[in-house]
Amino acid sequence: MQRIINEPGFVVEDMLKGFAKCHKNMIHVDPQNPRVVVSNFCKNKKKVGVVTGGGSGHKPAFIGYCGKNMVDAVAVGEIFSSPTAKSFYDAICAADQGQGVACLYGNYAGDNMNVKMAMELAEDAGIAVKTVVANDDVASAPKSESEKRRGVAGEIFMWKVGGAKANQGASLDEVIRAAQKAIDNTRSIGVGLGPCTIPANKRPNFSITPGTMEFGIGHHGEPGIRVEKLASAKEIAKAMTKLVIEDVPFVKGAELAVLVSGLGATPVMEQYIFFNEVEELLREQGLSLYASYVGNYFTSLEMNGITLTVMKLDDELKECLDEEVETMGMTQLRRS
């Protein structure tokens, strides 16, 4: 693998230094814990704190969603590894203003364990913490076992909604309810066309034979539902759209938000080609797109592939999506 790095063991450390320098107007590193990134807007007004965390290598996720009106503090893990309980706890402390903290994160064993321990520490410190655990990846377990599903790019909608709600002055319970609704209304699915390699490793974690694709791949290369022949954008879009639409399920006339993300090495051009097909399929089914996002929103190092995320909207969720936001991963002026 051809990379622009220094020591492979220090990629997260070096990246964080660069990130903090580049976005110093927006975020800073916690002076007490170099693996916690905190929004500079965090304490501009009294509000519920919004926290997340996860392994590195998914940029913009997770630190790229820290900033104005989205996530207040992020616990940072090593590449594809959970942050420590201490980092989750320090992120909670950084975001707390006495109104409680919403910890909105993805369903992975390490994160679950470390958030649980962090919550015990927070309880001892008298900080009220409630959680929403994202499980939007339809490929990772059947619907009847949706509590086993992983969180993937749908987390971005969960953070957007939770962050907007907190900024509007909602209580902890209201923030949690809205963020839970966001993820309950959200489904994602990914396909992998090429693997990625953790910088400290010599070889990719997994392999994808040229001419094939892994349908339903996870954000760390977790096996998908099936390996099949690489198809056209139209056919891939059809299979992916069907899966997420039927799982919600959507009914004719529904409004939705769509997020298409490249996994790292997929040109943005291809993402728009794919989105064009998705939009057509949704329109044919009488569904309308209220908001669309296409780009590298949640990646897996240099994995080649794409994810599709859809969220069913209501007035509250639309209001939250429209909120002004300023982060590295998503900046948007208030939509009128």
76 binds a second copy (CB under 8 A): no
Site residues for a second copy, 9-48, by CB under 8 A, read 11, 14-19, 21-23, 25
b/e code 134-169 from CB counts within 10 Å (16+ = b): bbbbbbbeeeeebeebbbbbbbbbbbbbbbbbbbee
Show the tokens assigned to 56. 């590195």
Closest distance of CB 336 from a second copy, Å: 10
Helices (H) and strands (E) in the chain, counts: 8, 14
Distance CA 192, CA 207 (A): 10
CB of 33 to a second copy, least distance (A): 19
The reply to whether 220 belongs to the active site is yes
CA 276 – CA 286 distance, rounded (Å): 16
Q: Does 121 bind a second copy (CB under 8 A)?
A: no
- With contacts defined by CB under 8 A, name the span among 130-138, 181-189, 217-225, 272-280 that binds a second copy: 272-280
Quote the CA–CA distance of 103 and 108 in Å, as a whole number. Answer: 14
* Residue linked to tokens 């099936």: 226
What's the CA angle centered on 73, arms 173 and 299, to 5 degrees?
Answer: 105
- Residue 301 makes contact with a second copy by CB under 8 A: yes
Nearer to a second copy, 186 or 266 (CB): 266
* Burial status of residue 253 (CB atoms within 10 A of its CB: 0-12, 13-18, 19 or more): exposed
- Which residues, numbered 172-211, are part of the site for a second copy (CB under 8 A)? 191, 193-194, 208, 210-211
Task: State which amino acid sits at residue 334.
Answer: R
- H/E stretch holding 81: none
The CB-of-79 to a second copy minimum distance in angstroms stands at 8
List the one residue from 66, 119, 213, 317 that touches a second copy (CB under 8 A). 213
Q: Are 295 and 268 in contact (CB under 8 A)?
A: yes
Looking at the Cβ atoms of 99 and 296, the one nearer to a second copy is 296
**For a second copy, the closer CB: 6 or 201:** 6
Expressed in angstroms, the distance from the first to the final Cα of the chain is 46
For the beta carbon of residue 199, count every other beta carbon within 10 angstroms.
Answer: 17
- Tell me whether residue 23 is one of the annotated catalytic residues: no
SS3 content of the chain, % helix, strand, coil (to 5): 35, 25, 40
Q: By C-beta, is 141 or 223 nearer to a second copy? A: 223
- Residue 56 sits in the site that holds a second copy (CB under 8 A): yes
- Give the residue with the Cβ less far from a second copy, 43 or 234: 234
Q: Is 308 in the site for a second copy (CB under 8 A)?
A: no
Q: Which parts of this chain interact with a second copy (CB under 8 A)?
A: 2-6, 11, 14-19, 21-23, 25, 56-57, 59-60, 191, 193-194, 208, 210-211, 213, 230, 232-234, 236, 264-277, 279, 289, 292-296, 299, 301-302, 304, 306, 324, 326, 328, 331-333, 335
Catalytic residues: 58, 220
